[in-house]
Chain A
Amino acid sequence: MSRTSYRRSTRSRVVLAALLAASVTVVTLDFRQGSGGPLRKVQDQVLTVIAPLQSGVSRALSPVGHLFRSVGDIPNLQSQNDKLRKQVSALQDQQNQVPEMQRQLNEALALLHEQRWNAGHKLGASVISEGPSNAEWTVFLDKGAAAGVQVGMAVVAQAGLVGRVTAVSPASSKVLLAVDPQHAVGARLTGSGDTGVVSGKGQSDLSFDLIGVTTTVTPGETVVTSGYDGGIYPPSIPIGRVKVARRSPDGLNQTALVQPFVDFNKLSLVLILLDTRPVKLPGQ
């Protein structure tokens, strides 16, 4: 090896050592900092800069995306169409009864002093991009602090629970989806009223844990948020439907697989519930 190439390989080793040291330092800093540390600010700034770019590219590419996503649906279109026609006529019948039912519902709600899950102040937002990892389930929205969004607010779609806001910049925000393993929410079975915890598994289904052994869990039963005092989510947000339930390995309680109502692969428009009170956890 000539002297020049020897010098070059020494130089690249120095570069390697410096960069390794820098990233280990950053990891350590991030581990030590609370929610207001210097890295947190850099994160928010990166979000501020990158969000408009993502938003633009996302809009420009949306036809391509729709094309790719719909190719997979083609085989089902015919049967879906038939099913939908039947549903439309059934729904038209039902719709005629709606005004009367609405009146009854309003009366009942007033009587019970209960809120419907998406009542109160809310803000519509669209999904501009998704998280850059196969191990985290997040989306970025086009509304941020300037529109009143705060960390900890609940996010829902028309079908039900989506997740909660985990980072905010002036014009965009990041949402942790309910399918992420880091996400957990207090939940209630609508049939028996028994409560437990629904957490993400990183797959399409959610896991509903800590159901009592004596509770009867029926497949198809709806699961909603329980909304304990001090929790993030208001009560009665629909989460999903029970697929199967089985006793946990220790035999002390039951665990159910829940199929979420929201299709997390096709999120586009969501509502941010501005009335949700973000909870301060100790140590944050």
Chain B
Amino acid sequence: MRRSLGTSLLIVTALILQTTLLPHLALFRVVPDLMLVVVICIGLVRGPSSGATAGFAGGMLRDLLLDAPTGLSALAYLTVGYVVGAVRPYVQSSSVAVPLIGVFAGSVVGTAFYTMLALLLGVPAQPVDRVAQVILLTGVYNTLLVPFAYPVVRRVAGGAQRSGASSGRGESVVPGRTF
């Protein structure tokens, strides 16, 4: 209960920072996508269904501020949140590279997926080279946000797993460590 409240707060905070602070940090006219970073981190820390739920909620909030068809970001982000959470247990490492690579790959795939969906639904697109540039830069730039976002997400969303107390409904992210 406290964890889902914390996760909701994380998502709302990400949305507000995304629209106020982050536009000031644009490089090559590309703004990092903090919401996607938070969703991926939640997927990594809490597993596939939390990742998907966070992706759905965060994506939907973002959609409601956009002109593109509502639900597109939700679809893209929940897919990324789920896949990242589902793949995590197969990576037997607790190295810092895991969230960095996870966020980079997830951001590139998620942004590309969103762009493709928008294109299919007839949203006016930019030239292909610029789209590719935006996708790659978003990936790189999102990775730079990991050192700030990942520890916060782990603190807020990941508490119970480390203490070893199973909440009964929580998912285990490490195979063989089922309670």
Residues of A that sit less than 8 Å from B by CB: 1-2, 4-5, 8-9, 11-12, 15-16, 19-20, 22-27, 29-31, 39, 42-43, 46-47, 50, 53-54, 57-58, 61, 64-65, 68-69, 128-136, 138, 140, 166, 174, 176, 181-182, 201-204, 265
Contact = CB atoms under 8 A, between A and B. Distances in A.
B7 interface: no
Given A26-B74, A27-B72, A4 B178 contact: yes
A251 B61 CA distance: 45
B24 A69 contact: yes
B19 A131 contact: yes
A58 B23 CA distance: 11
Interface string B122-137: 0111100010001000
Nearest to A72: B27
B65 A132 contact: yes
Contacts, number: 161
A43 B70 contact: yes
Given A130-B31, A135-B134, A202-B126, 8 more contacts: A5-B175, A15-B49, A16-B48, A19-B74, A57-B17, A134-B31, A181-B126, A203-B126
B102 interface: no
Interface residues of B, number: 60
Given A22-B56, A23-B74, A134 B171 contact: no
B52 to A, nearest CB: 5
A129 B31 CA distance: 13
Given A5-B175, A54-B16, A202 B121 contact: no
Contacts of A43: 64-65, 70
Given A12-B49, A46-B61, A23 B69 contact: no
Given A19-B78, A202-B126, A132 B138 contact: no
Contacts of B35: 132
A135 B172 contact: no
Interface string B6-17: 000000000111
B16 A12 contact: no
A8 B130 CA distance: 41
A143 to B, nearest CB: 17
A47 B55 CA distance: 20
Contact of B53 (A15, A27, A46): A15
Given A16-B78, A19-B56, A46-B61, A132 B15 contact: yes
A43 B64 CA distance: 5
B16 A68 contact: no
B62 interface: yes
B70 to A, nearest CB: 4
Contact of B67 (A12, A57, A138, A202): A138
A69 B74 CA distance: 31
B19 A8 contact: no
20 contacts: A5-B172, A5-B175, A8-B171, A12-B49, A12-B52, A12-B85, A16-B52, A22-B74, A23-B60, A23-B78, A26-B63, A26-B74, A42-B64, A46-B65, A57-B17, A68-B25, A131-B65, A132-B19, A138-B67, A203-B29
Interface string B114-125: 010010010111
A228 B63 CA distance: 33
Contacts of A11: 49
B71 A23 contact: yes
Contacts of A22: 56, 74
Contacts of A5: 172, 175, 178
